[in-house]
Structure 1
């Protein structure tokens, strides 16, 4: 297939507003790919390179050669060229990578160069997210959409699912299973403003878990081999030796665990999320050797909301010389050859309680009414935790989905927004990037709608960090405002949404303040402008 044809499809999808029309365009392109071209082509249509790391940054996309007059590139040739670029290493690699990159762009027409820029920068704004691609794969292969979605959740790889669907149909998709060592998209929780609302969604009896302010982890163990993955399915095994040590000390041979890792100080108290996140982002030396399910008093948090640190965790942490990063697990997806994701929560949690040391379990209790749920919520807040997650004990583990089976409740109104620009500070903050311009994602266009600004909640340490971070993301540096690539997600607390003619969305956040930066979320996972409109509609009188 000509690369130009794929670029034309991408442009057409970007210019089309209707979902069905987008799916039709994408499905036609998928059908036109040769089997060997599907892994690369399917990923490109979703805006992703098959090679996750290429070594090409924003600066490398400047001063590129002029476009070719005639198209000569094929999908296979472009994929091979990107392979060559990604494999460059060693002395002189920067110059060699630049040479290869310029060679590829010199052979590309103007339309092809636009798509290549979008792919290398991660900003192919064509409105074709993974959900649309799943629909397109189902249509192109003439298989049930549910089969594609199920395979996608288990595989965690759109390209592999597209290859299976287009090459083997529904039978090939049915072959996907939970595989120990391969991460799957985690089950997500919806939000509710109160525990009463959460219980209305889950029903009673319900299970209430303490919501820790840590990083989501998924841990796979097969014999001596242990792998730790983040919410975004990135592997961080060598950065969390304490987690590895804790799971290695468990008796089971095969496990897939879902939980949170949270930083603790020397007394076992939780650290702020920013410290937990930065601790997990740094590489550490590998670790040496690298009751009732509904009412588990042994796993209940201590007075500070956290159970005692397991000895294996403490010992591994001593090797790093850094803050302890301890795992706390709340679900079990696989145990010694038995997949559990389709079992009810109560069965999974019974297996979890039998397989994991109580010191490594999230605090959990069963409630039958709103009074008990409210008491559990208050206790979690008193312990300094983020809130609770109310869960339906009859629900299966719905990988990758956000439904009513799990509902999180936090004490403040928050949104995960994206920073689209930053202003230079003045006075005491002179020399630092300070005032954040906040945007909500518009799912119809893929763009971000500005909702206001804030510099509230920023410590000196955060100011230093965000100055470095946003200068690295800068696309336009002015004397007052630095415009940045919309990649960094930030959790914002606010008191309400009010009508405003100042911003293009017609709304503004009241008393917005920074809670934390979300390194575990991508811009595509940020809250939408529709969510803001819903909040606005519900608070018009306030």
Structure 2
């Protein structure tokens, strides 16, 4: 299948904002993919990716290397291409212009196929060691040498991760269901179990509904985590739980999913990204601590400070980001793993087993030690006893408590009321940057105020809920400007529209009703807390979540 057919799909997707039309375009394209092996590749390319988020392979190609590759392929000076980006605002468009003006053309040029593009990008990702940059350069130059201007534009965007076609996971899920005439809820279930759209599309095409029903958890492929809602206090939690609940300490760390298959251990972040290499000491401790041959467990990684007290979760994210001098970070930021659930044990899925039984199973398969523990818990009907446990957790420096319904099964990707969070303050929000303003004075040349969005499933888009400009250091603003510049879609004077990719955590005084924003809500005195690199836009808080927090806030204030 030719790559130009995929480029044509990207072009059609860019030209419409209608979700139904985008879904039809993607579904029609998927129907044309006859090769099952190719079908495993195509869904991620449609999303503008090469690999699933949980695949540890990365292209490791920045703008400068890509420009050099295009320069090598076209004979046009790198500086000319860089200057062109200042005019177009999009490296993809500048690559297309360079390919139109190319000064050299290979006599042995062959049309690009999707398989060739994919296999070359795999080579790029797997090229490491001395001389790797030069080899990557040659691989990429060979692709651009045979690319048409339009193909080059979308190839560049795929390589840099800046595809702007408006295709997200939900739309791709619906398109797979439409293409192969299968139930959308079965596509959703299979994806929640495997986090692999390529695998799901292949099963849907070859085996239909029956095949999707048979999809099971696979060690080595992360599952979508169950989520929790917030309640005002332990009494409200007990009422929601039917009078009795399991309370666990809510640790201020980073949630992880651990997969063990014999001596192989993989650790995935909350965003289901493979963070195994950054925490080698945790991996070794897991091998010693988890008894089953094959097992999937969940826990919270906590950075440990003086006297064993927890440090803010940003310290764990620093560990996740570190790729070099890891031994030094092991000393500086020691990590403790607190396990709280088990999802799979030696061939048996545990997700349909009641929580109380999963907890007993977890306690029986873990050898605890100083660094690997089971989350401290309390099962009670007594609100005073739960309240005492809550204050003990806060005194130890933790966030609060989790309350879990004893008979609850594990609901993949669902934020229901079977799991609840209890914290002393209103919960911070994780929101997506959808716009920004250029600064003035000493902040001239950097983006210094950010428009925040929450996803509205009715509109199928992110709607604004406020602007944040406080809490940032000058260094933060320089970093955010670098991150966001490639994501700028349009400029209106000082204001720029941003592709919704970057998630940040925001604190605020309260949520207010507001006619100013389409969402109907506004954050009062929002303040930047942290960049949430462990979350993608699909993990950020939704408009429904903000409405729920508004109602909770009113109850906490004594409102009705």
> TM-score w.r.t. structure 2 length?
0.77
* 1:183 to 2:222 alignment: yes
User: 3-state SS of the aligned residue for 1:249?
Assistant: helix
Residue in 2 that maps onto 1:322: 332
Report the Cα offset of residue 339 of structure 1.
Answer: 2.7
User: 3-state SS of the aligned residue for 1:216?
Assistant: strand
Residue in 2 that maps onto 1:523: 537
Residue in 2 that maps onto 1:298: none
Contact 2:290/2:365 (<8 A) preserved:
yes
What CA deviation, in whole Å up to 9, does each residue of 1:150-204 have, x standing for no partner? 3222222111111222123344434533233333222222334544554454433
Structure 1 residues 393, 11: CA separation in 2 closer, same or farther (over 3 Å shift)? farther
Residue in 2 that maps onto 1:27: 27
Residue in 1 that maps onto 2:467: 452
User: 3-state SS of the aligned residue for 1:253?
Assistant: coil
Report the Cα offset of residue 252 of structure 1.
Answer: 1.3
What CA deviation, in whole Å up to 9, does each residue of 1:367-395 have, x standing for no partner? 32655554444443333212222211212
Report the Cα offset of residue 269 of structure 1.
Answer: 0.8
Contact 1:152/1:158 (<8 A) preserved:
yes
Which of 379, 382, 405 is the matching residue for 1:366? 379
Whole-angstrom distance in 2 between the partners of 1:199 and 1:14: 49
Which of 383, 408, 420 is the matching residue for 1:407? 420
* 1:350 to 2:360 alignment: yes
User: 3-state SS of the aligned residue for 2:361?
Assistant: helix
Whole-angstrom distance in 2 between the partners of 1:318 and 1:94: 26
Deviates more, 1:43-52 or 1:325-334: 43-52
* 1:259 to 2:299 alignment: yes
Residue in 2 that maps onto 1:295: none
What CA deviation, in whole Å up to 9, does each residue of 1:226-245 have, x standing for no partner? 22221222222232244224
Which of 386, 392, 397 is the matching residue for 2:399? 386
Q: Structure 1: any 5+ residue segments left out of the alignment?
A: 287-316
Residue in 1 that maps onto 2:115: 76
Whole-angstrom distance in 2 between the partners of 1:245 and 1:90: 25
Contact 1:284/1:320 (<8 A) preserved:
no
* 1:55 to 2:60 alignment: yes
Structure 1 residues 202, 117: CA separation in 2 closer, same or farther (over 3 Å shift)? farther
Contact 1:207/1:365 (<8 A) preserved:
yes
Matches within 5 A, 1:210-289: 210-250=249-289, 252-254=291-293, 255-283=295-323
Deviates more, 1:151-160 or 1:256-265: 151-160
Whole-angstrom distance in 2 between the partners of 1:11 and 1:534: 38
User: 3-state SS of the aligned residue for 2:5?
Assistant: helix
Structure 1 residues 537, 392: CA separation in 2 closer, same or farther (over 3 Å shift)? closer
Contact 1:285/1:319 (<8 A) preserved:
yes
Residue in 1 that maps onto 2:83: none
Would you say how many aligned residue pairs link Structure 1 and Structure 2?
Answer: 505
Report the Cα offset of residue 280 of structure 1.
Answer: 3.4
Report the Cα offset of residue 536 of structure 1.
Answer: 6.5
Matches within 5 A, 1:157-172: 157-172=196-211
Contact 1:424/1:435 (<8 A) preserved:
yes
Structure 1 residues 473, 21: CA separation in 2 closer, same or farther (over 3 Å shift)? closer
Structure 1 residues 284, 227: CA separation in 2 closer, same or farther (over 3 Å shift)? farther
Contact 2:247/2:403 (<8 A) preserved:
yes
What CA deviation, in whole Å up to 9, does each residue of 1:77-118 have, x standing for no partner? 433443454455556554554454455446445554453344
> TM-score w.r.t. structure 1 length?
0.79
Contact 1:380/1:388 (<8 A) preserved:
yes
Whole-angstrom distance in 2 between the partners of 1:202 and 1:432: 52
User: 3-state SS of the aligned residue for 1:394?
Assistant: coil
* 1:156 to 2:170 alignment: no
Whole-angstrom distance in 1 between the partners of 2:196 and 2:534: 18
Structure 1 residues 77, 238: CA separation in 2 closer, same or farther (over 3 Å shift)? closer
User: 3-state SS of the aligned residue for 2:95?
Assistant: coil
